[in-house]
């Protein structure tokens, strides 16, 4: 019996990419449910939407979890920009975003705790 080498069909490069939509939708859902739009939105009024950038960063960390530089590349894919309603931006925007969060961390953490407590109280009342 003579066995020949089996070969797969050659792959042809194309422009199709895979975008993990699940983590993005999950982050958007909880971001909205916990009222984070109001918490973070008040800290930036000009330029790109802070909430969209944060949703993108959180989604990236759930899928890839590499550096901020790599996050900038990931977020600047056309499909991701369309999902998050963003325009193309330089990676320095992400560093400035994190810097802004750091400068306002006490107020942001306080607002997040208030939002979580309110969410838990409302959830408990619905169970009664």
SS (H, E, C) 107-127: HHHHHHHHHHHHHHHHHHHHH
Instruction: Give per-residue pLDDT as tens, 7-43.
Output: 667 777 777 777 788 999 999 999 999 899 999 999 9
pLDDT score recorded for residue 127: 73
Distance CA 116, CA 118 (A): 5
- pTM of the shown model: 0.80
Residue 11 token pair: 């792959």
SS3 state of residue 47: coil
Task: Tell me the mean pLDDT per 10 residues along the chain, length 128.
Answer: 68 76 93 93 89 95 90 93 95 94 96 91 77
pLDDT score recorded for residue 45: 80
Specify the DSSP class assigned to residue 20.
Answer: -
């Amino acid at each position: 019996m003579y066995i020949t080498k089996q070969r797969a069909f050659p792959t042809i490069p194309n422009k199709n990419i895979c975008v993990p939509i699940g983590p993005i939708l999950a982050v958007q859902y909880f971001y909205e449910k916990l009222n984070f739009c109001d918490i973070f939105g008040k800290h930036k009024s000009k330029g790109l939407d802070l909430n969209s950038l944060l949703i993108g960063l959180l989604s990236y960390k759930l899928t890839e979890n590499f550096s901020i530089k790599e996050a900038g590349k990931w977020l600047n894919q056309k499909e991701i920009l369309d999902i998050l309603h963003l325009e193309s931006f330089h990676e320095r925007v992400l560093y400035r975003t994190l810097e802004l969060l750091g400068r306002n961390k006490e107020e942001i953490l306080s607002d997040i705790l208030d939002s979580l407590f309110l969410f838990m109280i409302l959830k408990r009342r619905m169970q009664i």
